[in-house]
Amino acid sequence: MTTSWTVTRVLRDRNAGLYLTGLLVSAFGTSSLWLASGVWVKDLTGSNGLAALCMLAMWAPTLAGPALGTLADRFRRRPLLITLNLGLAALLLALFTVDSPGGLWLLFAVLFLYGAAGVVSEAAESALVAAVVAPDLLGDINGLRLTVTEGMKLVAPLTGAGLYALYGGPAVAGLDAVTFVLASGLCALLRVPEERPARSGGGWWRQTARGVRHLWGHPGLRPLVRAGGTTMLLASLSSTTTYAVVDRLGHSPAYTGVLYAAQGVGSVTVGLVSGPALRRLGGRRFAAAGIALTAAGVAARAVPSDPVALVAGAAVGLGLPCVLIAALTAVQRETPGPLLGRATATANTLMFTPNVLGLAVGAGLVELAGPGLLLPLYALGLLLTAAVLAAQRAASASRTAPRSSSDANPA
């Protein structure tokens, strides 16, 4: 009942409904391309390494998140999002010319620009949603946003793989282009009274630094973002043991898809209940509970049992997003509108960059030790992270970080 009321409450808001519908459409296209691009490269070159570089090309721009997020604060957010969506639709059409290994440079260039535009879009969306949706709905809409994106990861890759098998990579690129055109149309329907942002002095890097200073200097935001980054690091370390876990269970590597599906179901579920949970527990306790649940799931993966592995995957899916939802919601609530694009992009960089580091380090560690040793250690690190976050006093509204006139000035 609570979940259905949450969904109804959000969708009753016209702007929230349009935003989530646009997100569903674009996430479907993105998830389809995500799988197809790697298969495309593999078919053209036969190289697993080059196929893996597709994901790196899309993730790499996250490292420049603070600077890219500044772009989202220099323009009105709705026109910027419409322009980015239409620009990506046009950019994807260039992939129709990729039909040999000699054209891979174009594919990687498009994926890199795709990732950079995604960083700017996410920052602009966060600021736009915070401006048009009631503050008490932010937790609900951030949770439903996760439900939409994770749900598409369960459905869209199969569609992308099927379309690729029938018509090749250009057909998947064309599908993604169409979804961006549709998303831009839905964005155009949003009712958002926006004034043109005023320009302040200091140059691009000084403006970027203002967003970073606000985020890291805020006593309520810094612990959540720091816990999010630590959690993502440890979770990515544990994810590198997945194939070793499957080996212990006696299955072929394809069984990893079953484990990821169980985790995806957990992520979809937590998105539906995150709004009420945030209101009941508060951001810090909600995040700490999610990290502790993730720790339990990671530890359970060390047990060589199929039912336990499936339950563990669902537990990780339920717990892992909690700190991310709590942190993003807190950033939206505690950041002045003119700084919100930069602050959101900075938070995403600090929380998701450790994911890349964890994958690299974990790939080496799993060659040295088995999951029976590594997973309990990673779970212990997650439990300590949850305990530290839970022990920290929540900052009261009267003791939030000072917002000087220079920090609050529009960029």
Residue 398 has pLDDT above 50, yes or no: no
* Segment 223-249 mean pLDDT: 88
Position 197 scores a pLDDT of 66
Position 33 scores a pLDDT of 86
Tell me what percent of the residues of the chain surpass a pLDDT of 70.
89
Mean of the per-residue pLDDT values of the chain:
83
Cβ proximity of 193 and 295 under 8 Å = no
Q: Which two tokens stand for residue 216?
A: 């890291």
Secondary structure of the chain: what % helix, strand, coil (to 5)? 85, 0, 15
Same domain, 103 and 220: no
Residue 48: C-alpha distances to residues 53, 240, 250, 356 (Å): 9, 16, 24, 18
Residue 104 has pLDDT above 70, yes or no: yes
- Higher-confidence residue of 55 and 257: namely 55
- Residue (of 133, 271, 287) closest to 221 by Cα position: 287
Residue 311 has pLDDT above 90, yes or no: yes
Number of domains the chain contains: 2
Q: Which of the residue ranges 233-237, 243-247, 296-300 would you say has the lowest mean pLDDT?
A: 243-247
* Segment 330-359 mean pLDDT: 86
Q: How far apart are CA 361 and CA 365, in angstroms?
A: 6
Same domain, 186 and 227: no
Same domain, 165 and 211: no
Task: Give every CB contact of residue 102 below 8 A, 6+ residues apart in sequence.
Answer: none
Specify if 228 maps to a domain: yes
Q: How far apart are CA 117 and CA 135, in angstroms?
A: 26
Q: How far apart are CA 236 and CA 357, in angstroms?
A: 8
Find the CATH number of the domain harbouring 26: 1.20.1250.20
Same domain, 116 and 176: yes
Position 205 scores a pLDDT of 77
Residue 356 has pLDDT above 80, yes or no: no
Same domain, 27 and 87: yes
Residue 46 burial (C-beta neighbours within 10 Å; 0-12, 13-18, 19+): exposed
| pTM across the whole model | 0.80
Return the ∠ at Cα 156 (arms to 5 and 231), rounded to 5°: 70
Q: How many residues does the chain have?
A: 411
Residue type, 287: A
Three-state secondary structure call for residue 303: coil
pLDDT digits (tens, 9 = 90+) for 136-165: 778 888 888 888 887 777 777 677 878 888
Q: Helix count (H) and strand count (E) of the chain?
A: 17, 0
Cβ proximity of 229 and 350 under 8 Å = yes
Q: Where does a domain end: 192, 224, 256?
A: 192
Position 379 scores a pLDDT of 94
Position 47 scores a pLDDT of 76
Task: Give every CB contact of residue 150 below 8 A, 6+ residues apart in sequence.
Answer: 264, 267, 268, 271, 317, 321
pLDDT digits (tens, 9 = 90+) for 30-79: 888 877 888 888 888 887 667 767 777 888 888 888 888 888 888 888 89
Residue 265 burial (C-beta neighbours within 10 Å; 0-12, 13-18, 19+): middle
pLDDT bracket for residue 173 (50, 70, 90): very high
Residue 227 has pLDDT above 70, yes or no: yes
Q: Where does a domain end: 139, 173, 192?
A: 192
Position 354 scores a pLDDT of 87
Residue 286 has pLDDT above 90, yes or no: yes
* Segment 80-108 mean pLDDT: 92
Same domain, 56 and 170: yes
Tell me, what DSSP letter sits at residue 395?
A: P
Return the ∠ at Cα 265 (arms to 263 and 269), rounded to 5°: 115
Specify if 405 maps to a domain: no
* Segment 199-216 mean pLDDT: 76
* Segment 283-298 mean pLDDT: 94
Residue 344 has pLDDT above 80, yes or no: yes
Same domain, 204 and 130: no
Residue 291 has pLDDT above 80, yes or no: yes
Residue 293 has pLDDT above 90, yes or no: yes
Residue type, 346: T
Cβ proximity of 229 and 354 under 8 Å = yes
* Segment 288-308 mean pLDDT: 93
Specify if 108 maps to a domain: yes
Q: Which two tokens stand for residue 54?
A: 């597709």
Same domain, 263 and 188: no
Q: How far apart are CA 109 and CA 340, in angstroms?
A: 28
Task: Give every CB contact of residue 77 below 8 A, 6+ residues apart in sequence.
Answer: 124, 125, 127, 128, 131, 192, 194, 341
Residue 410 has pLDDT above 50, yes or no: no
- Residue (of 217, 216, 227) closest to 324 by Cα position: 227
Specify if 403 maps to a domain: no
Same domain, 70 and 126: yes
pLDDT bracket for residue 84 (50, 70, 90): very high
Same domain, 348 and 379: yes
Tell me, what DSSP letter sits at residue 250?
A: T
- Higher-confidence residue of 403 and 231: namely 231
Same domain, 209 and 358: yes
pLDDT bracket for residue 384 (50, 70, 90): very high
Residue 378 has pLDDT above 90, yes or no: yes
The DSSP-derived string for 149-201 is HHHHHHHHHHHHHHHHHHH-HHHHHHHHHHHHHHHHHHHHT-----PPPPP-S
Specify if 411 maps to a domain: no
Residue 19: C-alpha distances to residues 117, 186, 192, 323 (Å): 17, 7, 12, 22
Position 239 scores a pLDDT of 83
pLDDT bracket for residue 90 (50, 70, 90): very high
Q: How many CB atoms lie within 10 A of CB 134?
A: 13
Tell me, what DSSP letter sits at residue 73?
A: H
Q: How far apart are CA 304 and CA 398, in angstroms?
A: 50
Specify if 408 maps to a domain: no
Same domain, 304 and 221: yes
Q: How far apart are CA 114 and CA 192, in angstroms?
A: 26
* Segment 287-316 mean pLDDT: 93
pLDDT bracket for residue 352 (50, 70, 90): confident
Specify if 402 maps to a domain: no
Range of the domain at 342: 200-394
Specify if 301 maps to a domain: yes
Q: Where does a domain end: 163, 192, 221?
A: 192
Position 403 scores a pLDDT of 40
Residue 10 has pLDDT above 50, yes or no: yes
Q: Strand (E) positions, 8-134? A: none
Cβ proximity of 176 and 29 under 8 Å = yes
Position 198 scores a pLDDT of 64
Residue 366 has pLDDT above 80, yes or no: no
* Segment 349-373 mean pLDDT: 83
